[in-house]
Each structure stands twice: as structure tokens, then as C-alpha cells.
Amino acid sequence: MEEAKGLVRRVHLVKFKDGTPPARIEEILKNYANLVNLIEPLKSWHMGKNVSIMNLDQGFTHVFEVTFESVEGLAEYADHPIHTEFSKQTRPHLDKVIVITYEPTVFCT
């Protein structure tokens, strides 16, 4: 299986706190999506709400897929002040989160 050279993807599974107002969640999603316009090495951003009926979802409500041009690009993103501020504003609203970083077998944008 061929790996896309250098590209790095992160999948976040997130459960927002029950008490977070839907309007605040929408604001967070818009701000998160907008990072792709503000932080150069962040090449693509996708999300979706969990609609699983398999009962294997551990209560996670959202999936986010973010793709970077390289390991160095991911590091630049992680330390970028705009990302740091976004994380600081968002973290209090998260009940739980899983983050997996990987090099996908085939690149998709």
C-alpha cells in the first residue's frame, strides 16, 4: 500500500459537553473550518456529525479530519498562535477527545 509522500493527517473524535449551547458549537465549527484560510500548512479540513447506529461510537459527536503538507507543517500548525488561541477557546467545551495522527495510504484533499 502506497503512502502519500510526506502528507500527514489528523483525525479528531470529539464529544462536546452536554451544556455547550448549539450556537456555541456552530461558532466553534466555523472558527475551526476557517483555520484552513489562516494557517498555510493546513491543507484541508473536513468534518461530520456522528450518525452511527452501531453503538461502537463511545458517545463521540463529531469527527474532524485535518491534513498537512508535512510533519514540519503539522508542527508549525500546532504552535501557531491562531491555533493555540482556538484550542484555548474550545477546550473548555469538550467532554472528551481522541486524536490520531497518521500518514494516509492515499492522499485526499
Residues that bind a copy of itself (CB under 8 A): 1, 3, 9-11, 13, 29-30, 33, 44, 46-54, 56-58, 60, 62-63, 65, 97-106, 108-109
**Active-site residue, 77 included:** yes
C-alpha triplet 106, 12, 16: angle, nearest 5°: 155
Residue 71 beta carbon to a copy of itself: minimum distance, rounded to whole angstroms = 9
Q: Closest approach of Cβ 19 to a copy of itself, in Å?
A: 22
CA 103 centroid distance within chain: 15
**Residue 80: active-site member:** yes
Of the candidates 46, 80, 83, 93, the residue annotated as catalytic is 80
Chain centre distance of CA 83: 11
Residue 26: CB minimum distance to a copy of itself, A: 10
Pick 13 or 39: Cβ nearer a copy of itself: 13
Closest CA to 17 of 62, 74, 72, 64: 62
Helix axes 81-90, 22-38, angle to 10 degrees: 170
Catalytic residue positions? 77, 80
